[in-house]
Chain A
Amino acid sequence: MMNKLSLTGLLALVVRRDLLLAMRRRADVLTTLVFFVMVVSLFPLGVGVGQGPEAQMLTKIAPGVVWVAALLASMLSLGRMFSADYLDGTLEQMLLAPQSLPVLVLGKILAHWMTSGLPLVLMAPVLGLQFNLPSGQLGVLVLGLVLGTPVLSMLGAVGAALTLGLRGGGVLVSLLVLPLCIPVLIFGAGAVEAVASGMDYVAHLKLLAAIAVAATVLTPWVTAQALRISME
């Protein structure tokens, strides 16, 4: 009966399970979101150019600030991608299951994105308004985040799987994953800057989409390997 489960069926099953678990612990999702909003809101205070003509500078750095904050927020939530399943033994059963582990992992990544990346995407326009971003740039910023945040979850999954159950895993995973995320940051923030300077932004978004496709193909498999290494 279980063996007849199709790949999409398996994917839907894992996503639904993880979303259900996330719904039961809503505070985790909210913490990430609040962290994101807080980091972005701290920048004007730190840079100290809230009013007057210097406010333009804030508008200029806004896409970068939002992207870096999104990067940090997604690092923050990586710890819980596998750790709960690892601690209660569910992950071991998943590794033993006859179903494809990469698809299972993809489901977990998808659910992780829905609970950590998607809220950031939805919150980004509000934060953009805080920085006085024009609507054109705002749209491209959100579009970039839609394409880019899944990549952050996917690369993060590799790091989370490699550091599973290690002491100091939270800091370590950022050290491993952040350098790998740099292209996403560059193209995501670059697209908004391209709009601001009146250039073509489609190339940036296309590159982001290409990275997302490549990551979708490769990272579930790599993460599955990493899980096997960590669990053996």
Chain B
Amino acid sequence: MAINWFKYSAPSTFYALAGKLAPWFAAFAAILFAVGLYIGLYVAPTDATQGDAYRIIYIHVPASILSMFIYLVMAGYAALGLIFNTRLSAMMANALAPTGALFTFIALWTGAFWGKPTWGAYWAWDARMTSELILLFLYLGFIALHASIDDPRRADRASALLAIVGSVNVPIIYYSVRWWNTIHQGATIKPTGVSMEATMQKALLAMFLACWAYAIAMTLWRVRSIILERERTTQWVQEMPEAK
């Protein structure tokens, strides 16, 4: 059976697909958030050195992983849009940006709240915090550039190029900031093994998947709005029962 891989690269077909998928991801996210928070806040034991303050990692770690991952996905979609000239890719990149910026902000905010009881200061100029802050600037630059160009085609292509330049720069920024200064604690989840209690791992995994599902649901809903806005003059949008 031949599968038409490009069926859903058209905004009109993807609009319907996104509408069907988004509620599932949202429900999935809600359940996982409930499970993750329950295990994280009630079942998981108190940390030996950091007390209960450590529990903020259940939102901090997923948010910071996703903030970086979403930027890469965004740059990937931007590159796809630039290379193959597909409209939907650019729309996906735009839909991802606010969610990515939100996760970056959450990571910084929760990091500050964790830093106060643990390090004694809300903010320390350490490598990961600083590069996370720069990542937020990159997201804001992407959103600002797109917002200030009126022609949507030019806006898509210009911000796509910016996202690609940014993604090339991210490792350079990361290593420069890391060599500059570092007091952040070492990585806990390493490929060689995890130095963490089993229930903590479960809670963290649940929260990670929850954030992931949330990001997908939000992006799909946002891309639906973007598709409607961009395609408002097309026949299929005007023939939609909602539009009539």
Contact = CB atoms under 8 A, between A and B. Distances in A.
A interacts with B? yes
B154 A232 contact: yes
A77 to B, nearest CB: 19
A175 B158 contact: no
Interface stretch (B39-47, B53-61, B162-170): B162-170
Nearest to A232: B154
Interface stretch (B141-149, B201-209, B232-240): B141-149
B162 A182 contact: no
B176 A183 contact: yes
A162 B158 contact: yes
Given A162-B158, A162-B162, A178 B137 contact: yes
B18 interface: no
Contacts of A226: 158, 161
Contacts of B169: 179-180, 183
Contact of A176 (B134, B162, B168): B162
B176 A175 contact: no
Interface residues of A, number: 27
B176 A163 contact: no
Interface stretch (A45-53, A79-87, A166-174): A166-174
Contacts of A166: 148-149
Contacts, number: 66
A176 B141 contact: yes
Interface of B: prevailing SS: helix
Given A175-B140, A187-B176, A229 B165 contact: no
A114 B62 CA distance: 46
B161 A182 contact: no
Interface in A198-232: 207, 211, 218, 222, 225-226, 229-230, 232
B154 A229 contact: yes
Interface of A: prevailing SS: helix
Nearest to A185: B176
Interface centre among A163, A176, A207 (most CB of B within 10 A): A176
A229 B137 contact: no
B165 A180 contact: yes
A183 B173 contact: yes
B157 interface: yes
B148 A182 contact: no
A232 B157 CA distance: 11
A211 B172 contact: yes
Given A158-B161, A162-B161, A187-B176, 15 more contacts: A162-B145, A162-B162, A163-B148, A166-B148, A172-B145, A172-B148, A179-B134, A179-B138, A179-B141, A182-B176, A182-B177, A186-B180, A207-B176, A222-B161, A230-B154
